[in-house]
Amino acid sequence: MSQSTEPVVVHGIAQGDHDKLVTEVTEWVRGPGEDWTDRIEATGEVPEELWTELRERGYLSMAAPQRLGGKGLSFEQWMGLMEIFSASHASVRMIVHVVNGTWRAMDPFATEEQRDQFVRPSVAGTKKVAFALTEPGNGTGADITCSVEKEGDTYYLSGEKHLITFGVRCDYWLLAARLAGSTGHQGTVALMVPRDVPGVTVKDTSQTMGVTGTDHAHMIFDRAPVPVANRLGDEGQGLEVALGGFLTPSRISVAMSCVGLARRAQELAYDYASKRTTFGKPLTARQAIQFMLAENEADIEAAKQLILHAAREWEAGSPRGSALSSMSKMTAVEMLARATDKALQIHGGLGYWKTEKIERVYRDARAQRFEEGTNEIQKMVVFRELQKSKDVL
């Protein structure tokens, strides 16, 4: 098994080709993407046709290298497109974010046979892979209790996972567990668990405040058989697979999604303020509104530049990549809260009604606060890295 957890650095595509993609994705988000938004909010579901459309347009295989069937964008180039996608419905953003990221966890540890079986179909969008780490009774790290007992060439999986995005409709769960009786990082394993494995009960827990239509699952395993051949990496590397090559860039991606959604909120607020008149003047003539919009503009741009810096440093293999990833996520999340709050306030009471697009944006913005770790977790990471740097001096 490959044991490399170094980031996969790619040179990206030609600037002209990237510019064309930016134009194409922008037109899709503002056109068909808006139609999908209305349909998802009306029905409460993301239909399979949306997944098919995103796959056929190549939007699920942008970030992966060409050797895996992807477009081969650099990470910074992908972040530019992530910002645009994030102005669309949160479920659209969630699909492209997850599918364009899970290969990073699988690929460094996969054999070539596993790449053909799991990684390339995931990049192509023909197989859905759900990242299954979080458990109801503990955190999302070395304290996981979901366990396996090895008998011959089979692991028997028992335990629970919850809040698993796309865990209902997926083909495989990329699941972290531990050998029964082990503790800490030692004994953890990463398994590609088939969705139709015997011995599992799947509960759909998709009734969320925002991100309407993205399915979430609570799974209960009772000695569910998983072939040892479905293990990524070695025994003891489960958390390396789950966290090593995936979490850091994913946090940067979530941070950029905050920028995209904040820009959408800012756009809606400016458009509304330009058209809404009081005492014969548009709201944009009021200094209080001008200040809100100006603060948002500066807030969004500052967060974006930190995120792009983090993206470049991570892709270059900088030792500061982890800290910058957490810095960018905690900064962007707080920015998004301020920006959407001001945008909603500019709409006045009308913004509270579902007839206004800002109402959906405001609800969706709350999800990023816990996606890939809360800000409290990010602060712990940043302080840990700060402490390391001081100890070296």
- Is 22 in the same domain as 134? no
> Is a pLDDT exceeding 60 seen at residue 7?
no
Question: Reduced to 3 states, what is the DSSP secondary structure of residue 393?
Answer: coil
Domain membership flag for residue 369: yes
Q: Give the model's pLDDT for residue 142.
A: 84
- Among the listed residues 235, 240, 313, 372, the single catalytic one is 372
> Is a pLDDT exceeding 60 seen at residue 388?
yes
Number of CB atoms found within 10 A of residue 57's CB: 14
> DSSP letter string over 262-299?
HHHHHHHHHHHHHH-EETTEEGGGSHHHHHHHHHHHHH
> Is a pLDDT exceeding 80 seen at residue 70?
yes
> Is a pLDDT exceeding 50 seen at residue 80?
yes
pLDDT band at residue 393 using 50, 70 and 90 as cut-offs: low
- Is 187 in the same domain as 294? no
Q: Give the model's pLDDT for residue 3.
A: 45
- Strands 154-165, 216-227: pairing is antiparallel
Average pLDDT of the residues in 30-57: 96
pLDDT band at residue 392 using 50, 70 and 90 as cut-offs: low
Q: Give the model's pLDDT for residue 359.
A: 98
- Is 27 in the same domain as 139? no
The residue count of the chain comes to: 393
- Our answer to whether residue 372 is catalytic in this structure is yes
Tell me the percentage of the chain whose pLDDT exceeds 70: 97
Average pLDDT of the residues in 311-322: 95
Average pLDDT of the residues in 315-326: 95
> What region, left, alpha or beta, does residue 346 occupy, with left being phi > 0 and alpha being psi -120 to 50 degrees?
alpha
Last-in-domain residue among 124, 148, 174: 124
Q: Give the model's pLDDT for residue 382.
A: 96
> Domain range spanning residue 278?
246-392
**pLDDT tens digits for 218-250?**
999 999 999 999 999 999 999 999 887 788 999
pTM value is: 0.93
pLDDT band at residue 25 using 50, 70 and 90 as cut-offs: very high
- Is 275 in the same domain as 230? no
Domain membership flag for residue 32: yes
Find the CATH number of the domain harbouring 97.
1.10.540.10
Last-in-domain residue among 191, 216, 239: 239
Q: Give the model's pLDDT for residue 390.
A: 82
- Is 20 in the same domain as 34? yes
- Is 102 in the same domain as 215? no
- Is 214 in the same domain as 299? no
